[in-house]
A = this chain, B = another copy of it.
Amino acid sequence: MSSLKQQQDSVSSVAEAVAPESWSKVSCPCCVSSEVEPLVLIQLAENVESNTKQWIMDMISAPNRAGGAHLLVHPGEDASWGRIVVAAPRCTLLRATEDLGLCKADKEGNMNLFSFHDRNNFNNVNDMQKFLTLAERQYIVQHELESMRAVKDQRIPGIPGDKGILKSRQNILQKLQKAGVIQDVFPLRDEKKLNALGKEWYLQKRLWGQPLDSIHAYFGGSIAFYFSFLDFYTWALVPPAVLGFFITFFLPGAPPPDGPKADNSTPGPGSLDADDDHLSVSAHMVQAVFSMIWSTVFMELWKRRRAALSYRWGTLTLTEEFQEPRPGFQGEVGINPVTGRREPLFPDWQRQMRVGLVSLPVVGLFLGLVVLGMMGFYYCESTMASIHKASGSIITATLSYLPSVIHIVYTNILGNAYRTVALKLTEWENHREESAFQNHHTTKVLVFTFFNNFAVLFHIAFFRQDLHLLRKRLSSLLILSQVVNQFTEVVVPYVVDRFYSSSQKGLKEDDPAADHMQAEGSLPPFPGLFLEYIELLVQFGYLSLFSCVYPLTAVLLLINNITEIRGDAYKICRLFRKPFSPPEAGIGVWQAAFEVLAFFSVMSNCWLLFLAPRIKVFTQDAGLNPSTVLIFIIMVEHILIVAKLILAFIIPDEPDWVLIKRQQIEYCTMMALKEQKVKHSDTAELPHA
């Protein structure tokens, strides 16, 4: 009750701050309300004329059939009058909820597919603040703004030349952005909610648990799912961490816990010295098999968790619409054969040619550069080592670190260059749908990241077959990457925030809304979750592919993730502008990436098992020749892969209760459709007979 009151206060204060009487009027009688909640800010360029601004405001508040977005606008109150504040009337929000295929709680408390026609069967349908989350309302405003299309050829007033010519069916927002009239569109913060969320989230003392529902309400689907996954993954790290800790410290013949310490002894592969000895045969096998099963069960349980969250957040039934092409899509205007609409078309075969004949070779080239760098590194390292052996001074000892440093720098530069190239290439491939674009882009970056991060480790494991070196390398990579990561992700932004962008810090919640908007506009836009996911994926790779040579991996990752959650939370709350975040039903293509990695982990672990010196000695003692052992290991690998597939098949992807709920929703929809049809056909029956 108190939070409800607070919410209303907060809204009314901001609404008053932008002069309620200047809002455009609603056309629909049911949408009239005493307060209007500002949701999205449109930042215009400085030199925009007032008649252009007026035209834009007219379009945004115009009804859909006139090409408008049917939203409420306010001219803003800053000195330069370069802003438009947008809000949404009730009817627009409700209709968009239906169009997006969102589920909402009905009168009986079940989530059900929202239908505008049946709106009175749903809870809170007269209070948009409770019916939709802030993130949903803001996403709907963005969605409606992006859907504006001219209904006839016309000129945008105040814009000279070709830039101002708007053709029939052309996307208005895109046109205005291309013409430089609109600089930015971003959702407005709600300081009170944000402060409450921060208190619940990164400022609290307890180690576990995040306020996922609050995150979802404030930041929206994609961000809430990232944090849910991060949370779930961190929890899932506990069993392997406990096992790794136990194996390292409590098993007979335990080694010094920090592997790299012993790097002055350099045993050849296969020899059974004190350092390689540290994992007994049984511990090694337990760790390897556990790692494979864990990675499968983890992904399957995540799918169930995902389904439960998706039900809770009403995204179980998101409609895959016949969307408009994505903004960057280029092509000759023609008739879409499916929808019959006039829109840019681009032949599929041409896109496939671009992917196959240009993108693929370029990606291959970069992978080649990675291998080249690795070979260069090994060559330099061995040269340095021999020089050091010959002279043995402190200088050569220091210089022997040079190849590593150069290689790390080279790898980083290559990675950054590749990221730029991958984005440009994917844009040039000209995908029609946003999802296809995302998938192609993510796949490109993933393949490279995988290669870049794991090529050296695979080389050591498969070609050098040197477990000692692998362990050394893995532990230093883990520790180094975590230090760098914590530094760049938490310390640097914090310092920047503290000393350079202190201007907005002085703002209080009850300062004028215009100042808040000004402050928010000056923040950098949120860079997206791509790099965060990549980081988790690389972590997961270290753990599932190689952890059996360095059992402490999970412990280190666990420690890292507990700080990571807070760091990420702080970043997204304080250091960046609030992003738009569409309702989503999961983590999308990343789930597939994690599953592929879990699949590779079987092969990798089996191979490492074959290489383990203790096992070699053990089988030699038993009088088995290497070929027999190899064949045995391959059979184990194949059986484990099949077992993995069966396990993934047996564990249902959604809990029973979600399944029943989903079926109920589908059944209700089908029955509703049938009833409508029957009504129609009953009335249509007689004339036809």
Name A656's closest neighbour in chain B (CB-CB): B348
Contact check: which of B337, B603, B631 meets A638 at CB < 8 Å? B603
Known contacts A627-B630, A630-B627, A684-B117, A322 near B667 by CB under 8 Å: yes
Instruction: For residue A92, give the distance in angstroms from its CB to the closest CB of chain B.
Output: 13
Most buried by B among A29, A626, A660, A681: A681
Q: Are B688 and A120 in contact (CB under 8 A)?
A: yes
User: Is residue A10 within 8 Å, beta carbon to beta carbon, of the partner chain?
Assistant: no
As for how many copies of this chain the complex holds, the number is 2
Which residues of chain A from 636 to 689 have any CB-CB distance to chain B below 8 Å in the complex?
Answer: 638, 656, 660, 663-664, 666-667, 670, 673, 676-677, 680-681, 684, 688-689
Interface check A34, CB cutoff 8 A: no
Q: Is A3 part of the binding interface, using a Cβ–Cβ cutoff of 8 Å?
A: no
| Residues A30 and B688 in contact in the complex (CB < 8 Å), given A337-B664, A338-B664, A631-B630 | yes
Report A14-28 residues with CB < 8 Å from chain B CB.
Answer: 28
Q: Does A502 sit at the interface, judged by CB under 8 A?
A: no
Decide: A338 and B116 in contact? CB cutoff 8 A.
no
Across the interface, do A663 and B322 meet the contact criterion of CB distance under 8 Å? yes
The bracket for how many chain A residues form the interface is: 35 or more
In the complex, what residue of chain B is closest to A638 when comparing beta carbons? B603
Asked if A291 is at the interface (CB within 8 A of a chain B CB), the reply is: no
B28 and A117 within 8 A (CB): no
Considering only CB atoms, which chain B residue lies closest to A626 in the complex?
B627
For residue A455, CB closer than 8 A to chain B, the reply is no
**Distance from A450 Cβ to chain B, minimum over Cβ atoms (Å):** 13
Q: Which residue of B lies closest to A28 (CB)?
A: B689
Tell me whether A667 and B339 are in contact (CB under 8 A).
yes
A88-145: which have CB < 8 Å to B?
A: 98, 115-117, 120
Contacts of A627 in B (CB 8 A): 626-627, 630
Please name all residues of chain B whose beta carbon is closer than 8 Å to the beta carbon of A29 when the two chains form the complex.
689
Q: Are B120 and A338 in contact (CB under 8 A)?
A: no
Bound Cα distance from A640 to B631, whole angstroms: 18
| A634 sits at the interface (CB 8 A) | yes
A677 touches B30 (CB 8 A): no
- Contact between B117 and A660 (Cβ–Cβ < 8 Å)? no
Chain B residues, CB < 8 A from A660: 337-338
A338 and B667 within 8 A (CB): yes
Q: A630-B630, A670-B322 are in contact. Are A680 and B676 (CB under 8 A)?
A: yes
Docked Cα-Cα span, A363 to B337, in Å, equals 52
Please indicate the chain B residues that have their CB under 8 angstroms from the CB of A677 in the complex: 98, 115-117
Complex Cα distance, B497 from A49, in Å, reads: 92
CA distance A688 to B118 in the complex (A): 11
Closest to A634 in B: B634
- Assess whether B631 is in contact with A681, with CB atoms less than 8 Å apart: no
In the complex, what's the smallest C-beta–C-beta distance from A652 to chain B, in angstroms?
10
- Other than A115-B677, A117-B684, give 4 A-B pairs with Cβ distance below 8 A: A322-B666, A603-B638, A627-B627, A676-B676
Q: Which 10 pairs show the lowest CB-CB distances between chains A and B?
A: A338-B663, A29-B689, A30-B689, A117-B681, A626-B627, A117-B680, A338-B664, A337-B660, A116-B681, A627-B627
